[in-house]
Each structure stands twice: as structure tokens, then as C-alpha cells.
Amino acid sequence: MSEPLCVIIPAVKKNVAFPDDLVKKLDGVSLIQRTIETGRTLGNSDNLYVVTDSQEITLICERNQVGFFYRPEIQLSGESILRDLRFSLLRVYKKFDNILILYPHVMLLDPDVLPRAWDAFRQGDCDAMLSVRKEPQSIFKAGETCINDAIFTDARENVLVEVKAFVFIRSELIKKDSAVPVVLPYYLDGSAVEIRSFQDWWICEKLLRRKRIVYRVIGRPEVGMGHVYRALTIAHEVTDHELIFVCKEEDELAIRGLSGKGYPVRVFPSHAIDEAIIASQPDLVINDVLETEAEYVRNLIQTGIKVVNFEDLGAGAMEADLTFNELYDEPLIPGDRIRWGHEYFFLRDEFAQAVPRPFPEEVRTLLLTFGGTDVKNLTMKTLAAILDVCRERGIQIYVITGGGYLYKEELIRFINEADYSGLSFTSATGIMSKIMESCDIGICSNGRTVYELCYMKIPSIVIAQHEREKTHHFAEEHRGMLPLGGYTNSDEEAELVGVLERLIEDRSFRKNLYDRMHGYDFIQNKAKVIGMIEGLLS
């Protein structure tokens, strides 16, 4: 009784991308060894054979306990590989109903590709099935392609390209000389790499060496968008690795802010997210969720996963391999793997080429911003308090809110009713650095914006939005900032107006604050933090 499938691997050194590529180590394992292991996913060594002209490859086969056909004279011509293999195939075809020709130069096939293709072939009404890929191409047609189409349009056609990964064929076709009657395609995704050159080899090895990072991030009105901005900044730097964002269902702002940025975003209910993270088999998990539990972090580490936490005062911070609490200059919890203070704070990418503000002799512009959400609507309260002060002095007010700000219509109505030409509003936080380049002073919440204003040399009044922000102590007068605590009543409003008037009128006071901001360069910190994270993956 015949068996269902035989796997044939053509490993002919005359038909290679470059000399010795079949036995050269690709990330520590040779191409032929990798192909043998791939072939075993559809059976065992008894149904696997290598056809080769190399004694070195026959030795590898012997050590792997797989059969081989050694033919020094074999030539696998591009016109008819099936014909060139026929001598070997005739020796096995009677024992098997089907034959898989598995080529050694296509790497990074997903582990389930061959089993799924095998199922599709068995169920398909065809004599053969070969691997192909859809590739969008702009086809040049002599005499038909006009200059307008060439420059201004992207008219791409999906072209089916044969990928030399595998071919399934029915055994009864081996004795026939006629062409295969019915051939169906099996579509591969973009992950497979066909090695045809040293450059392909380099790309493939780079991909094999990359690690999987799961980045768990929060973002909702009560916690703001700072975690999302940090997550994207890190993601743009760790391009050597695969990165997957993970969020809970309630983190709608994070989901919206991360979507469309070129990274997978996976969303889970609260009760399922821990198990889902472990099931994704990451090499590293980054938690940007404010506080983690010790048991959660221990479970990750016991599974062999490295763990990095950001802005974490929970018990899990002490369990993680590395925790960055850059918004807290003094340690609040014990832990020798916790890094504290502004030396670990880094700016968003948009500040990389921003030009810090020269000291202005007079205040002409003011920035007002309370982050991406501002749930207490301090933007409106503060603007109402300072409007007359700025109007009397002709000071331009730039109001910036974020994507999670819920009072936009109310704010726009207030601005229109204020009837002050020196008042402008935007919610485009992606141009924050450009607006800061034009601002002499600022008013902001006690979060990441403080560091951005410090870097841009803009003396500012800092108002905490909630109790957690009151524990951030970077914003001090000796660093050019004026912390006011919270803002909830008329007394604090009067204090705000008084401090603002002094900041505007007292040049020497303002110059003293400006000078104290020198020496804080948060641009360099990013490379340091990324290096520490990637060090865990080495």
C-alpha cells in the first residue's frame, strides 16, 4: 500500500545563488539543514530524500538519517526541473501517492504553511500546486505609458510571481512526458524570502535574528496620551525587531492613536490580556501601564520573557528586569533595577531638529496646553483666567489640545466669543515643537510637556492635573519652572494671574529662569534607554 507523500529536496551546488550557499551557516544553521527540518514538518525521515551532486551534502544527510540520491552529473535546468529530477523520482514514486519538491532557497516560511498547502492540495482538483506570491507592479508598456501616469499615478497591477519554495505533484504524472494538465497556485504572504544574492542572504539573516517585542500600553481620558507617544517613539527605534502593540478594550485612545502607524495592534478584554501576551511568545514585554502587579510580572519572567516597565510604582516594578521611572527624580520604592529621574527621559521624535527659543527681551507669545486629554478642562479655566492679562499686553496665546480632549466645541465657542485676534487654537499635537519655537513662556500640566518646554528653553507655569502629577518634582524653580500645585479655586486662580504677571513684567526674573534651563538635553537619553532595552535581547 502506498504512502500519501514523499518529500524531495533538490540540493544541487551547480544551481546556487552563490558558492557554497547550501552549506553556509545562516544565523548558525545551514540552508540544507533548515530545509531538512522544514521537510520533516510533513512526516519523518523515511519519506524525505535529498537529491544532490555534493558529497558534503550527502554527509549532512547521513547525520540527519535521511535518504539521498547522489548524482555528480545532475543539472537542474530552469526549463524542466521535473525532467532533470525524473531519475530520482522514478525510484520512489510507486511508494507514494504524491510528491513534494521542497526547494532550499526560500526561508522564513511560517511553520504552518506547508501543512496548510498540503491540505489544500489534497482537497483541490488539480495535478500540481506551486507556491506563488502577488506582487504589485507598475507595468511599463512601450507606446502606452504616458508621462502623466508615470509621474502622478500609482497604477499598480497585482502580478502573480512564482516563488521557488515548493511544488506538490501527483505521483502518476512522473512517467508522463506531457505537460502537467492542471496546476493551481498556493499564495504565500510577504514573510518568505527567496535567496538569490548576498543581499537576500543578509536580509534573511537579519530577519531570523530579530526578536518579538510585545508593547502593552494604556491610553484613555483619565491617564492621557503620554504613554502612546512614548510607545511610538520607542517603536520607531527598535526596527530590528518585530513589535506588537497590545491594549485592553477600554483603552480606546491608545487603540486609536496606535492604529495606522504600521504596527499590529491587538485588543483584548481585561481578563484575557495576560494570557494573550504569554501566548504570543514574545522575547520581551514592555509594560507602559502606570502600575503592574508582582504576580503578573513574575509569570512573564518564569515563562522566559524579559520585562521592561515604564512609569511604574506598582509591586511589579521591583520584579521587572528593568523599570524606568523618568518622571520621578527621587526613588519612591526600593529596587536595584529601577532607573529614576530625568536622565532617562527622552523627547518625541518631532523635537529632534527643533531649535530652542532664544531669550526674548519682551514676552510676545504664550503657549497653553494640558496634554492630550485634560479631563478637568484646565485649558478652559486657565484661558479664562489669563485672557485679560494677555489681551492688555497684546500677547499671542497658542492653545493646544490633544485627540482625547472632550471639550473642543465648548473651547471653540469660548474663543469665538472672546473676540481676541491674538488667540489661536489647534489640536494637532504633531506640530507641538514648531509652535514652541515661537513661544516665549508657557503654562502646562505637570507631565511630559514640562521636559519639552525645558528643552526648548521656555520658562513656564506648571499646574498639576491630578494627585499623581503632584509627585512629579522635576518642575522646580531652579530648573526654570514655576510649579503651582493644583488649580481648583479662586485663590489659586489669583495666584496663577500674579505669577503670570511677574513672569511677563520682570525681565531679570524671567532671564534667571531661562538660564537655569541650560544643560538639559533630553535628545541623547533616547539612545541610552533603547540601548538598555536592546541589551536585554542580546
Quick: pLDDT tens for 209-226.
999 999 999 999 888 899
**What pLDDT sits at residue 87?**
66
Average pLDDT on 361-377 reads: 94
AA identity, residue 222: E
pLDDT at 84 over 70: no
End-to-end distance of the chain based on CA atoms, in angstroms? 51
Residues 283 and 328 in one domain: yes
Q: Are 470 and 464 in contact, with CB atoms under 8 Å apart?
A: yes
279 and 241 belong to one structural domain: yes
DSSP state of 155: -
Longest dimension (CA), the chain: 98
Identify whether the C-beta of residue 400 lies closer than 8 Å to the C-beta of residue 370.
no
Residue range 237-246: mean pLDDT, rounded: 96
In whole angstroms, how far apart are CA 216 and each of 56, 267, 287, 300, 467?
48, 10, 5, 13, 24
Bridge partner residues of 340 (DSSP): 325
pLDDT at residue number 78: 55
What residues contact residue 41 under an 8 Å CB cut-off, 6+ apart? 111, 114, 115
CA–CA separation, 319 vs 458, rounded Å?
38
More confident residue, 129 or 538: 129
**For residue range 471-517, what is the model confidence (pLDDT) as tens digits?**
999 999 999 999 998 766 667 889 999 999 999 999 999 999 999 99
Sheet-wide strand order for 441-445: 423-426, 396-400, 365-369, 441-445, 460-463, 481-483
Whether residue 168 sits in one domain with residue 53: yes
Average pLDDT, the chain: 91
The number of beta carbons lying within 10 Å of the beta carbon of residue 131 is: 24
Residue 111 lies in a domain: yes
Same domain membership, residue 218 and residue 196: no
Q: What is the DSSP letter of 101?
A: E
* Residue position matching grid coordinates 494570557: 275
Tell me, yes or no, whether 174 lies in a domain: yes
Rounded distance between C-alpha atoms, residue 310 and residue 55, angstroms: 55
Q: How many CA atoms lie within 13 A of 463 on its CB side?
A: 26
Residues sharing a CB contact under 8 Å with residue 228, sequence separation 6 or more, in sequence order:
217, 219, 253, 254, 257, 258, 372
146 pLDDT band (50/70/90 cuts)?
Answer: low
Decide if 523 is inside a domain.
no
Question: CA 265, CA 167: separation in Å to the nearest integer?
Answer: 34
| Whether the Cβ atoms of residue 201 and residue 21 lie closer than 8 Å to each other | yes
In order, the DSSP letters of 391-459 are: HHHT-EEEEE--TT-S-HHHHHHHHHHHT-TTEEEE--GGGHHHHHTT-SEEEEESSHHHHHHHHTT--
Q: Which of 207, 237, 260 is the C-terminal boundary of a domain? A: 207
Tens of pLDDT along 22-55? 999 999 999 999 999 999 998 777 899 999 999 9
What pLDDT does 143 receive? Answer: 67
Residue carrying C-alpha cell 548558525: 28
Q: Which helix (H) or strand (E) holds 524?
A: none
pLDDT for 295: 98
| Angle at 424 (CA atoms; ends 422, 429), nearest 5 degrees | 145
At position 524, the amino acid (one-letter code) is Q
Q: Which residue has the cell 525587531?
A: 241
Based on the structure, what is the number of domains in the chain? 3
**Out of 82-86, 170-174, 322-326, 471-475, which region has the weakest mean confidence (pLDDT)?**
82-86
pLDDT at 192: 87
| Residues written for the chain | 538
Q: Residue 13's domain is classified under what CATH number?
A: 3.90.550.10
**Is residue 334 located within the same domain as residue 371?**
no
Q: Which three cell numbers stand for residue 441?
A: 513662556
Is residue 524, in this structure, part of any structural domain at all?
Answer: no
Residue 156 or 538, more confident = 538
Residue at 20: amino acid letter: D
> Does 49 share its domain with 193?
yes
| 327 plus 472 within the same structural domain | no
335 with 478, same domain: the answer is no
User: Of 151, 182, 207, which residue constitutes the final position of a domain?
Assistant: 207
Cβ-proximal residues to 267 (8 Å cutoff; 6+ apart), any chain: 246, 247, 248, 249, 255
Query: How many secondary structure helices (H) and strands (E) does the chain include?
Result: 17, 24
3-class DSSP assignment, residue 361: coil
Single-letter amino acid, residue 173: L
Residues 358 and 342 reside in one and the same domain: no
Q: Is residue 522 part of a domain?
A: no
CB-CB contact of 411 with 381 (8 Å): no
Contact present, 41 and 82 (Cβ < 8 Å): no
Residue 487: inside a domain, yes or no?
yes
- ∠ Cα 441 447 450 (to 5°): 30
DSSP state of 469: G
Domain that holds residue 501: 353-516
pTM of the full structure: 0.85
